[in-house]
Structure 1
Amino acid sequence: MTETQQTEEELFCIGCGARIQTTDKEALGYTPNSALKKGLETGQLYCQRCFRLRHYNEISDIKLNDDDFLALLNQIGDSDALIVNVVDIFDFNGSLIPGLHRFIGDNPVILVGNKVDILPSALNPNKVINWIQKEAKEHGLHPVETMLVSAKKGNSVDELLAVIERERKGRDVYVVGVTNVGKSTLINRIIKQTGILDSDVITTSQFPGTTLDRIDIPLYEDDHALIDTPGIMHAQQMAHYLHDKDLRLIAPQKRIKPKVYQLNEQQTLFLGGLARFDFIQGARHGFVGYFDNELYIHRTKLENADQFYAKQLGDMLQPPHPEDLADFPELQRYEFSTKQKSDLVFAGLGWITLPENVVVAGYAPKGVSVMIRKALI
């Protein structure tokens, strides 16, 4: 019998219960053919995600489709657990899990804003926390604690662990988040900082398929665990429209340096080919942009902007790249008038700080949020 035939007979990972497959590296149960052969010979068949956790203490991010993610949320709602919801500070609205509050029942939530290390140094963290709490409340989420951390640098992770221990009250802890928020990086940081895991880190599933969407990490001594859950690709994330090589533009690795653009009305800024800003009406003013330091920004006249975009998209205006243009959606326009100093936010990409009494428009791929808020700086 061939390995392919055996896989078709539904082999399961003995670590998490996921159905073994050898075709999609980003999906649940992926196992390279070489590892599949060895696992069948030894009887120790792990998916790649479990193998890396077991041998290297590393969690990797895996994507779920909408139906599987809905099943996961229902599973969490039926549990008595503490929920740690990781969001991207830079893309808060795009990284919220739609309807999370309806699925978690009475389980408490700790809301964790990740990537604090890349925020501009002038930004007051308390303002960010207040804004996150306000937005969460408007989406029906009432966290028992809101924290800012850097999973990459380790900022405030010890404080987060203390809050988790205070709030979990002898329960399991589910860590949830959409893709690209740094959930897996945070779990890896927790694993390294606790330093208590051994080679038996993965809870073995006795009933293959029953723990299809989770990995239990026995972090506590009371038979409860920190539970890693796969992420879902949120349709309102800018990442949905980017090639892997461009994800750095929405996941900056260095602290963002603000850039000032002195604009007259009827001028336009293109943010690569991903987004657009029109200064429609108002006095000449300096507009401050907060984007990845490598994002190409081009200034032109508003009257020429449509023609310029059509001609230069995929060429001067990248990303997207020429090979990605067929799948790149049209930009959708949103117009705003300001009464106070405000931020025009392009979800996942950054924001531009606006003065009072101006009329502007922001464009982003259809489905990606463009919104206005009270200025954080």
Structure 2
Amino acid sequence: MCGRLELRMLENLLLSMPWGDVLGKLNHLTGSCARHDSGDREGGGVLCGQAKLFDTPGILHPYHFTTRLTREEQKLVHMSKELTPRTYRIKPGHSVHIGGLMRLDVEECSVSSIYLTVWASLLLPLHMGKKENAPKMRQDHFGQQLQPPIGETRINDLGKWVRNEFRVVGESWQESSTDIAVAGLGWIAVCLKGEVSLGVWTYSGIDVVSRKSLTSAKARIFEEAGFSMSRIVSQAGRRLNKEKQKSKRKQVEDKGIRLAQFH
């Protein structure tokens, strides 16, 4: 077992290490889903061989998405595997959706484009498009291609859709300066050399905060406009196509019946 001296050494080590190194060591210990750089870290842990570390779920809070989602919806949000960055190069007047739970609008900006890197469960579908089309996206795709919520009837259960405003200043194109984090969902890292105003939409009562970026990692291949590739998007697309085909067949049949009655 670890003695008091070893625990004190661990405490002093964590307090003295740079934040990035702390993340690396803790990820090594806990098998955490997130990693702070693009490569795996080598070397031993900071605890002795007989130590055990238990990572508990914590307490449920009303400002956390977990308290509002069903069990099936929680499975989509839960980060069960190592996180992989999904990066957009995005211009002002465009938006990024994370499922039907969050939307980030790039509003006024001192540069022509910025980098946004999404850190969230890979099961969550993303969408990037023009801000002016965002209301139609909410009407047509929330609960379908953009899940959670699962099903259109669940949208109203989650609460009122509200806007939060943030202003971000960055000094480098290589390192993200600020994370916009949504409790129980994940975060979007913002990278630019300049200033940008962001509108962040989510459900009323869910905590949205800005903080100094935890990591500067970006994806090697950037995401494109439209829906990200995911099982949810594919299934919803097939379902909508079937519904459209069924509707067209019914229209043709109804038209045939009317013509027959006319003659």
Please give the range of the TM-score, normalised by the shorter of the 2 chains: 0.5 to 0.7
| Secondary structure in structure 1 of the residue aligned to 2:61 | coil
TM-score normalised per structure 1: 0.41
Aligned partner of 1:346 in structure 2 is 182
Q: For each residue in 1:326-376, what CA deviation from the matched residue of structure 2 results, as whole angstroms up to 9, or x when unmatched? A: 412122211111123211111221111113411112122211111111112
Contact 1:238–1:250 under 8 Å retained in 2: no
Q: Which amino acid aligns with 1:119?
A: A
Aligned pair 1:119/2:34, yes or no? Answer: yes
Q: Structure 2 vs 1, CA of residues 115 and 328 (structure 1 numbering), >3 Å: closer, same or farther?
A: farther
Q: 2:143 aligns with which of 314, 320, 323?
A: 314
Tell me which residue corresponds to 2:197: 359
- Which of 272, 293, 298 aligns to 2:122? It is 293
1:57-80 Cα deviation digits (max 9, x unpaired)? xxxxxxxxxxxxxxxxxxxxxxxx
Q: How do 1:140-219 residues align onto structure 2 when only pairs under 5 Å count? A: 183=56
In structure 1, list runs of 5 or more residues that go unmatched.
1-111, 125-154, 165-174, 176-181, 185-230
**TM-aligned CA distance change 1:318 to 1:336, over 3 Å:** same
Give the corresponding residue for 1:3: none
Q: TM-score, normalised by structure 2?
A: 0.58
The equivalent of 1:281 in structure 2 is 108
Q: Give the share of equivalent positions with the same residue, in percent.
A: 25
1:250 to 46, 60, 77: 77
Question: 1:375 aligned to 213, 229, 235, which one?
Answer: 213
Question: 2:78 and 2:128 mapped to 1: Cα distance?
Answer: 24
Q: Alignment partner of 1:357: what SS?
A: strand
Work out the CA distance in 1 between the residues paired with 2:33 and 2:48.
19
Aligned length: 175
Cα 1:281/1:252, change in 2 over 3 Å: same
Q: Shift in Å at residue 250 of structure 1?
A: 3.2
Matching residue's letter, 1:241? R
Instruction: Classify the secondary structure of the residue corresponding to 1:233.
Output: coil
Deviation at 1:304, TM superposition (A): 1.7
The answer to whether the Cα contact below 8 Å between 2:84 and 2:122 also exists between their aligned partners in 1 is: yes
1:193-221 Cα distance to aligned partner (Å, 9 max, x none): xxxxxxxxxxxxxxxxxxxxxxxxxxxxx
The 4+ residue runs of structure 1 with deviation greater than 3 A are 112-116, 155-164
Determine the C-alpha separation between the residues in 2 that align with 1:263 and 1:310: 23
2:196 is aligned with what amino acid? V
Superposed displacement of residue 308, structure 1: 2.1
* Cα separation, 2, equivalents of 1:235 and 1:274: 15
Structure 1 residue 116, shift from structure 2 partner: 5.5
CA displacement, residues 238-283 of structure 1 (integer Å, 9 cap, x when unaligned): 1112110122333211100001111110101111101111111222
Counterpart-to-counterpart distance in 2, 1:357 and 1:160: 48
Conserved 8 A contact 1:120-1:258: no
| Structure 1: distance between partners of 2:80 and 2:185 | 13
The one-letter code of the counterpart of 2:203 is P
| C-alpha contact (below 8 Å) 2:77/2:123 kept by paired residues | no
Distance in 1 (CA, whole Å) between partners of 2:50 and 2:103 is 40
Q: Is the 8 A contact 2:160 2:203 kept in 1?
A: yes
Say which SS state the counterpart of residue 338 (structure 1) adopts: strand
Show CA shifts across 1:46-104 (max 9, x none).
xxxxxxxxxxxxxxxxxxxxxxxxxxxxxxxxxxxxxxxxxxxxxxxxxxxxxxxxxxx
What residue is the counterpart of 2:244 in the other structure? none
Quickly say closer, same or farther: Cα 1:358–1:116, change in 2 above 3 A.
farther
Contact 2:77/2:124, CA 8 A, preserved across alignment: no
1:316 partner amino acid: Q
